[in-house]
Amino acid sequence: MKPNTFDWSKMKNIQKIHRVLYALGLGPIIGGFIVLLTTTGRKSGKKRVTPLQYEKIGEDYYLGAARGLNADWVRNIQSNSQVELRVGAKHIQGTAEIVTDSSRFADFLEVRLERHPRLIGMIMEKAHGLPKRPSREQLEALANGEAMVVIHHVRTDNEK
């Protein structure tokens, strides 16, 4: 595996675009792929909104943390697991579970590769130096030391 050469500074600009698209009312269009996660800042106590790719598996929402346990939003969840999601036009309250088990993370990556082979294959290649169709062994090696977050659905804004 070659070293990570992905320029993470570009992600801030991409995240701004996703926030603007939601603000313009285009959440129902991009909500099939992008969720807005609201956490509570671990130091400030302020609400923090982060656009992220996700997969819905069963009733839960799975979020990969590309920066692992170092991601600010993951560190916020370590401090307070109660989160909000905006998925399209839906607002969801949930409880976040941080998962560092490499086998579970590799399962998540396999689902992502199955559902979005071109995009996730490109990410595997460009960001992680893996082939576009990595083996299970390569996925588990990539997942080692990484983190994902599973949001367990509590209720939507329409539920009482």
* Three-class SS state of 86: strand
pLDDT at position 68 is 86
58 dihedral zone (left: phi>0; alpha: psi -120 to 50; beta): left
d(CA 61, CA 76): 17
Q: What is the mean pLDDT of residues 48-66?
A: 91
Backbone angles phi, psi at 25, to 5 degrees: 85, 15
Q: At 33, is the pLDDT very low, low, confident or very high (cuts 50, 70, 90)?
A: confident
Q: At 144, is the pLDDT very low, low, confident or very high (cuts 50, 70, 90)?
A: confident
* Three-class SS state of 34: strand
* CATH fold label, 10-100+145-156: Pnp Oxidase; Chain A (2.30.110)
pLDDT at 32 over 50: yes
Tell me the average pLDDT of the chain: 85
Rg of the chain over CA atoms, in angstroms? 15
Delimit the domains of the chain by residue range.
10-100+145-156
From the list 117, 104, 113, 112, the residue with the least C-alpha distance to 143 is 104
Burial class (CB in 10 A: 0-12, 13-18, 19+), 148: buried
Q: At 11, is the pLDDT very low, low, confident or very high (cuts 50, 70, 90)?
A: low
Q: What is the mean pLDDT of residues 108-133?
A: 92
pLDDT at 8 over 60: no
pLDDT at position 74 is 96
Question: What's the pLDDT tens digit per position in 64-88?
Answer: 887 889 999 999 999 999 999 998 8
